[in-house]
């Protein structure tokens, strides 16, 4: 049996094992449910904005006032995906943590690793097989999620997505896989390194809370425009260009806040996905060339982190003596 | 000393030995201090930006400039990030606490041994619950003290008596919110056959309570729900959100916790102007729902643990 065949055998075993695992399936269906709900909520939110606009328009017309200043809410179907991306960022990461944990816990907990290592397969091939199997699984998960997203957006938004829009969804799906692989590798790495599997899981969750929820939350809360409901500048009726002019004096604060957010890989994924899908107004309608030029830092961050943790997991798995049974 | 007290003391001792107690306490103290620092920095900077904006508007010849919306908010507002941290980290750690409390006995085989002794499952459960409550109360109590003392050490941030009372009620509410999640962790640790599933199911419920239900009720995205300024904003108009508020609103305990807490910590001018009695009366249904959820979970735990027989609950993973 060639090395590639051995890796493939481990990968397919890993893939089918995960599909039989209740925990993984629970999280997968939960994620699909959440994403569908988020799109439904976003569409009703948009409908509500349109209704508010129309009511205001009627009232202004009836009272004989000018209606030119009132801007009609514009429908951009990909903007319905804001909640979906946030759920992928938050719950998708848990799913990846679960996969990484289960992948190692199965072998450590059942003492199967000792048996496998007596067979003619190297540790590296075994790890690559596991990584490949889970990467394929995450590609399948991402595929299901993004096909589902496209379907729900088309049905709820009563629109047919164009080729370029579908391509943007495809690109976002690709970066989602890279992002999820980071959490898979971190969780697998900790499960290899730590003697107690439950502790490895808890530490993985702590990392998840810190980098997915807390750091972005701190950055978001420190945003001066988020200190007042509706935005400070909006309440003062200051236009975007003038806002930037005023904020120039506070560049050090903004730089510190941005640097804090930069330490979160989840924020890099979010910024990239929001730009690709035009969820952030600044990037809505802009070419992919413009977006990648502006977001190349985010692309590098998540790609390098994914490669780093993937290699680190492999290196530790090859080097570490872990033939003990779980505590 | 009764068996219940012995088990409760043993539970606290184990929490000390496993360092879970110190980990929780440390996280809560750090959360409080971080929250206070973020609140102070953000408020000071926003006020400076407001002043710069006013200067800019005056130069442009604008009239009727609105007053600084932050100037009317009390020093207590600086603690509003604590709501998010308890809502997120505190509740998740409470699940871990409840989970470990029972899984530990099932995995080590101590449960079978205990049930061969003259200790009923009811006594075991009550002892564990008292231990968990004691640990949570100590953590919340110390965090409350740290909040008050830290505010006294900072210039112009002193809390007045009304603020301290609001903070006290907020931490009391937080205790019951954390207790709910600890009992949820305990419930699945009693019921589930697999250790991992016993942790993952409450985590799924936690996601539902923290993000899904509040999202449906308020129409906000998960990130917006973590911003203390926007977390308690009302839902957009429309039939869908009206229906969600009518049917899911009453059971959305995560939403109840954040909106009630936001009011207590004076997150808006309206909340500052309402007296504590008014806030408590306005939120009586929310408090009752939270307490009801705790009681239901406790009842379920009690029911499940009563049906335990020797050897049945052990985990051999």
Q: Is A256 on the interface with B (CB under 8 A)?
A: no
Length in residues, chain A:
327
Q: Is A112 on the interface with B (CB under 8 A)?
A: no
Whether residues B200 and A26 touch (CB distance < 8 A) is answered with: yes
3-state secondary structure chain A: CCHHHHHHHHHHHHHHHHHHCHHHHHHHHHHHHHHHHHHHHHHHHHHHHHHHHHHHHHHHHHCCCCCCCCCCCCCCHHHHHHHHHHHHHHHHHHHHHHHHHHHHHHHHHHCHHHHHHCCCCCHHHHHHHHHHHHHHHHHHHHHHHHHHHHHHHHHHCCCCCCHHHHHHHHHHHHHHHHHHHHHHHHHHHHHHHCCCHHHHHHHHHHHHHHHHHHHHHHHHHHCHHHCCCCCHHHHHCCCHHHHHHHHHHHHHHHHHHHHHHHCCHHHHHHHHHHHHCCCCHHHCCCCHHHHHHHHHHHHHHHHHHHHHHHHHHHHHHHHCCCCCCCC
Q: Is B148 on the interface with A (CB under 8 A)?
A: no
Its pTM stands at 0.82
Mean pLDDT of the region B274-300: 88
Q: How far is residue B216's CA from residue B209's CA, in Å, rounded to a whole number?
A: 11
pLDDT at B157: 67
Residues 55-74 of chain B with CB under 8 A from chain A are 56-57, 65-66, 69-70
Residues 66-125 of chain B with CB under 8 A from chain A are 66, 69-70, 81, 84-85, 88-89, 92, 96, 100, 103
Whether residues B240 and A44 touch (CB distance < 8 A) is answered with: yes
For chain A, report the end-to-end CA distance as a whole number of angstroms: 35
- Summarised one tens digit per residue, pLDDT across range B197-229 is 788 888 888 888 888 888 888 777 777 777 777
Q: How far, CA to CA in Å, does A47 sit from each of A54, A157, A327, B222, B238?
A: 11, 10, 54, 20, 8
Domain that holds residue B216: 3-32+79-310
Count of CB contacts below 8 A, A vs B? 155
Q: How far, CA to CA in Å, does B208 sit from each of A316, B126, B214, B299?
A: 35, 28, 8, 21
Q: Where is pLDDT greater, at B10 or B170?
A: B170
Q: Which parts of B19-85 are beta strand (E)?
A: none
Q: Is B209 on the interface with A (CB under 8 A)?
A: no
User: The tokens 């007596």 sit on which residue?
Assistant: A118
Which among B41, B56, B236 is the nearest to A48, CB-wise?
Answer: B236
ipTM > 0.90? Answer: no
**Residue B44 included in any domain:** no
Report yes or no: B116 and B311 within 8 Å, Cβ to Cβ.
Answer: no
Kindly state the DSSP code that residue B232 receives in the 8-state scheme: T
User: The tokens 């600044």 sit on which residue?
Assistant: A282
pLDDT at A185 over 90: yes
Sign, CA dihedral B247-B88-B86-B79, equals negative
**Residue B217 included in any domain:** yes
Q: How far is residue B29's CA from residue B316's CA, in Å, rounded to a whole number?
A: 37
Kindly state the DSSP code that residue B89 receives in the 8-state scheme: I
Whether residues A221 and B89 touch (CB distance < 8 A) is answered with: no
pLDDT at B22 over 90: no
- Summarised one tens digit per residue, pLDDT across range B257-267 is 988 888 888 76
Whether residues B48 and A250 touch (CB distance < 8 A) is answered with: yes
User: Is the backbone of residue A285 left (phi > 0), alpha (psi -120 to 50) or beta?
Assistant: left
Q: Is B201 on the interface with A (CB under 8 A)?
A: yes
Q: Is B269 on the interface with A (CB under 8 A)?
A: no
Q: How far is residue A12's CA from residue B154's CA, in Å, rounded to a whole number?
A: 60
The structural domain count of chain B equals 1
**Residue B263 included in any domain:** yes
Instruction: Look up residue A321 and give its two tokens.
Output: 């003596």
Q: Where is pLDDT greater, at B96 or A46?
A: B96
Confidence of residue A69 (pLDDT cuts 50, 70, 90): low
**Residue B98 included in any domain:** yes
Q: How many CB atoms lie within 10 A of CB A58?
A: 11
Looking at every residue in chain A, the average pLDDT score rounds to 83
- Summarised one tens digit per residue, pLDDT across range A112-130 is 777 887 888 888 888 899 8
> What residues of A are in contact with residue B42 (Cβ under 8 Å)?
221-222, 224, 227
Mean pLDDT of the region B238-255: 81
Q: CA dihedral defined by B210, B216, B222, B227, rounded to 10 degrees? A: -80
**Residue B57 included in any domain:** no
**Residue B315 included in any domain:** no
Q: How far is residue A98's CA from residue A188's CA, in Å, rounded to a whole number?
A: 9
Looking at every residue in chain B, the average pLDDT score rounds to 82
Q: Where is pLDDT greater, at A68 or B257?
A: B257
pLDDT at A326: 47
Instruction: Look up residue B234 and give its two tokens.
Output: 């009302």
Nearest-CA distance B223 → chain A (Å): 7
User: The tokens 């930037």 sit on which residue?
Assistant: A244
Confidence of residue B279 (pLDDT cuts 50, 70, 90): confident
Q: How far, CA to CA in Å, does B237 sit from each of A54, A164, B217, B218, B241?
A: 13, 33, 11, 10, 7
pLDDT at B6: 86
User: The tokens 């184990």 sit on which residue?
Assistant: B14
Q: How far is residue A135's CA from residue B134's CA, in Å, rounded to a whole number?
A: 45
Nearest CA in chain B to A35: B212
Kindly state the DSSP code that residue B248 receives in the 8-state scheme: T
How far does CA B310 lie from the centroid of its chain? 35
Percent of chain A at pLDDT exceeding 90: 16
Q: Is B212 on the interface with A (CB under 8 A)?
A: yes
Confidence of residue B231 (pLDDT cuts 50, 70, 90): low
Report yes or no: A149 and A169 within 8 Å, Cβ to Cβ.
Answer: yes
Q: Where is pLDDT greater, at B298 or B314?
A: B298
Which of B44-53, B124-133, B147-156 is predicted most confidently? B124-133
Confidence of residue B9 (pLDDT cuts 50, 70, 90): confident
pLDDT at A70 over 70: no
pLDDT at A327: 44
Confidence of residue B313 (pLDDT cuts 50, 70, 90): low
**Residue B37 included in any domain:** no
Q: How far is residue A259's CA from residue B56's CA, in Å, rounded to a whole number?
A: 28
Give every CB contact of residue B206 below 8 A, 6+ residues apart in sequence.
Answer: B91, B92, B95, B181, B184
**Residue B46 included in any domain:** no
Give every CB contact of residue A280 below 8 A, 6+ residues apart in sequence.
Answer: A271, A274
């Amino acid at each position: 049996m060639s090395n590639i065949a051995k890796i493939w055998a481990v990968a397919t075993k890993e893939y089918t094992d995960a599909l039989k695992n209740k925990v993984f399936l629970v999280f997968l269906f939960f994620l699909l449910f959440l994403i569908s709900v988020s799109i439904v909520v976003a569409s009703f939110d948009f409908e509500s904005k349109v209704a508010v606009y129309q009511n205001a328009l009627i009232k202004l017309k009836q009272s004989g006032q000018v209606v030119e200043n009132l801007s009609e809410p514009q429908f951009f179907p990909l903007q319905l995906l804001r909640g979906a991306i946030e759920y992928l960022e938050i719950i998708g990461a848990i799913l990846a943590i679960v996969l990484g944990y289960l992948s190692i816990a199965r072998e450590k907990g059942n003492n199967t690793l000792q048996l496998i290592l007596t067979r003619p397969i190297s540790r590296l091939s075994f790890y690559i097989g596991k990584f490949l199997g889970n990467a394929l699984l995450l590609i399948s998960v991402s595929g299901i999620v993004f096909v589902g997203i496209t379907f729900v957006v088309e049905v709820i938004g009563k629109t047919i997505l164009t080729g370029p829009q579908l391509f943007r969804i495809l690109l976002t799906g690709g970066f989602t896989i890279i992002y999820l692989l980071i959490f898979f590798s971190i969780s697998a790495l900790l499960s290899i390194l730590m003697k107690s599997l439950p502790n490895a899981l808890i530490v993985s969750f702590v990392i998840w809370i810190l980098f997915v929820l807390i750091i972005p939350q701190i950055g978001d809360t420190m945003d001066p425009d988020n200190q007042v409901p509706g935005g400070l500048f909006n309440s003062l009726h200051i236009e975007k260009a003038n806002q930037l002019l005023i904020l120039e004096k506070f560049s050090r604060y903004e730089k510190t806040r941005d640097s804090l957010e930069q330490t979160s890989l989840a924020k890099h994924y979010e910024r990239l996905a929001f730009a690709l899908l035009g969820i952030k107004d600044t990037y809505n309608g802009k070419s992919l060339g413009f977006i990648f030029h502006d977001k190349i830092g985010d692309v590098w961050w998540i790609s390098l982190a994914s490669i780093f943790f993937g290699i680190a997991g492999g290196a530790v798995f090859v080097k570490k003596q872990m033939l003990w049974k779980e505590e | 000393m009764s068996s219940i007290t012995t088990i409760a003391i043993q539970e606290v001792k184990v929490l000390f030995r496993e360092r879970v107690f110190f980990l929780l306490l440390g996280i809560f103290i750090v959360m409080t201090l971080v929250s206070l620092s973020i609140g102070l920095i953000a408020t000071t900077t926003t006020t400076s930006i407001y002043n710069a904006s006013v200067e800019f508007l005056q130069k442009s010849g604008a009239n009727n400039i609105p007053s600084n919306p932050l100037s009317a908010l009390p020093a207590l507002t600086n603690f509003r990030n604590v709501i998010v941290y308890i809502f997120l980290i505190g509740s998740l750690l409470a699940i871990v606490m409840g989970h470990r409390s029972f899984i530990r006995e099932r995995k080590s085989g101590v449960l079978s041994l205990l049930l061969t002794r003259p200790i009923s499952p009811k006594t075991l459960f009550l002892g564990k619950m008292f231990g968990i409550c004691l640990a949570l109360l100590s953590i919340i109590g110390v965090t409350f003290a740290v909040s008050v003392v830290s505010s006294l050490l900072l210039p112009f941030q002193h809390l007045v008596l009304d603020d301290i009372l609001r903070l006290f009620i907020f931490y009391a509410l937080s205790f019951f919110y954390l207790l709910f999640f600890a009992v949820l962790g305990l419930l699945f640790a009693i019921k589930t056959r697999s250790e991992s599933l016993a942790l993952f199911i409450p985590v799924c419920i936690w996601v539902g309570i923290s993000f899904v239900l509040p999202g449906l009720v308020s129409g906000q995205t998960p990130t917006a729900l973590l911003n203390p300024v926007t977390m308690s904003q009302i839902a957009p108009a429309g039939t869908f959100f009206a229906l969600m508020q009518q049917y899911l609103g009453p059971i959305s305990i995560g939403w109840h916790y954040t909106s009630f807490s936001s009011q207590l910590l004076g997150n808006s001018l309206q909340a500052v102007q309402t007296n504590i009695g008014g806030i408590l009366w306005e939120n009586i249904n929310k408090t009752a729902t939270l307490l009801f959820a705790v009681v239901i979970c406790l009842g379920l735990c009690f029911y499940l643990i009563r049906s335990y027989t020797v050897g049945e609950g052990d985990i051999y993973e």
